[in-house]
Amino acid sequence: MMAIMNTSTFEEFQISHRRADDDPVEDEHGWDTYLNNGPIEGHFPVEFATGVVVERPVLRCVLCHGVLHDIKGRVRKTAAAAVIEAAALCPDCNDVTGCDVRIRPDGALESLHGLGMRTYAASVLVPALVRDPVTGSPAMRRPYLE
């Protein structure tokens, strides 16, 4: 974010990015994710060696709660976690809803930005028995309930 200094009173005035309709942007990170990434569909499903599977999220507009279809973003996956940055433009509200989450191999979900927990809660499929990725032996039972 840029700040302009008013030299007469030395007050700082914040300048935010603006949409095409010149309304102020509430979610700059969401807009950045939407404008600088491609469609997110090709990244899903995200699968862990533990058996946890993450399906494509269903994003809803933060303003009108309608289902958003033009979801853009990226997925960064390591053995320790998958970080998913997603955002979608609502054709009715002309605003972007952003949603970033971190998902652990045991199915644990952490919201990093936006409506992460609500958006991904139904998208993370955790088996009743999670197996160790190296040995294949049972590592946890119902980790999402413990």
Give the model's pLDDT for residue 134. Answer: 77
Phi, psi of 55 (to 5 degrees): -90, 165
The residue ranking higher by pLDDT, 7 or 136, is: 136
62: left (phi over 0), alpha (psi -120 to 50) or beta: alpha
- Domain residue ranges in the chain: 17-141
Q: What pLDDT does residue 140 have?
A: 62
Pick the range with the lowest mean pLDDT from 13-17, 90-94, 128-132. 13-17
C-alpha separations of 120 from 1, 10, 94, 124 in Å = 29, 45, 23, 6
Whether the per-residue pLDDT at 52 is higher than 50: the answer is yes
Residue 56 is given by DSSP the state P
Express as a percent the part of the chain with pLDDT over 90. 29
Q: Which residues contact 65 (CB under 8 A, 6 or more apart)?
A: none
Strands, E assignment, the chain: 2-6, 11-15, 46-47, 53-54, 71-77, 82-89, 96-103, 109-114, 124-125, 129-131, 138-141
Task: Report the pLDDT averaged over residues 26-31.
Answer: 79
Cut 0.85: pTM above it: no
Residue 26 has a pLDDT of 67
Instruction: Please check the confidence at residue 53 and state whether its pLDDT lies above 50.
Output: yes
Q: Is the dihedral of CA 74, 130, 50, 42 positive or negative?
A: negative
Please compute the mean of the pLDDT values over residues 34-49 and round it to a whole number. Answer: 92
